[in-house]
Amino acid sequence: MNRYIDSTEQLVTEIIVRDIKRSTEFYRRLGFVLLRDGGSFVELTWEEHQLFLDERAAEGEQAALSTPQPFPPANIRVMVPNVDEYWRLAQDLGIRIVAPIADRSYGLRDFTIADPDGFGVRFASTSEAQK
């Protein structure tokens, strides 16, 4: 069966943000690469995978973003060779930690941070990669 579109484009995360510049800078400082800046819409990449940021001006969407969340409504997982390096980077950047770094029962060493709008970003490595 032929693919109708490249597999890296079949499932793309799009995050609705309040401040496109602030969010773009947040992700770029973590290592995401800016591919396209369309003003209120930005396309970032992490290796071959895309992340869209979309600043919406619609009243209902902005109101939803303003509602405080006790935990991130969702998160994206970013696999890296050495999660401890990203843990130090997150601490150096003063980013809000949602879940501190730890070895998990599911075989990953990971931690979760919150982006400027409260969306979770979880960096992880396989536990074996850390040994």
Looking at the fold, whether 60 and 6 belong to one and the same domain comes out as yes
CATH of residue 103's domain is 3.30.720.110
Q: How far apart are CA 103 and CA 98, in angstroms?
A: 15
Looking at the fold, whether 50 and 75 belong to one and the same domain comes out as no
Looking at the fold, whether 28 and 73 belong to one and the same domain comes out as no
- Nearest CA to 79 among 129, 10, 27? 129
Whether the pLDDT of residue 30 is over 90: the answer is yes
Looking at the fold, whether 73 and 86 belong to one and the same domain comes out as yes
Give the chain's domain count: 2
**Model confidence pLDDT, tens digit, residues 90-123:** 999 999 999 999 999 999 999 999 999 989 999 9
Domain boundary among 18, 42, 67: 67
Q: How far apart are CA 71 and CA 89, in angstroms?
A: 22
Q: How far apart are CA 102 and CA 76, in angstroms?
A: 17
Domain boundary among 67, 99, 116: 67
Range of the domain at 34: 1-67
**Model confidence pLDDT, tens digit, residues 37-94:** 999 999 999 999 999 999 986 555 555 556 556 666 789 999 999 999 999 999 999 9
Looking at the fold, whether 62 and 73 belong to one and the same domain comes out as no
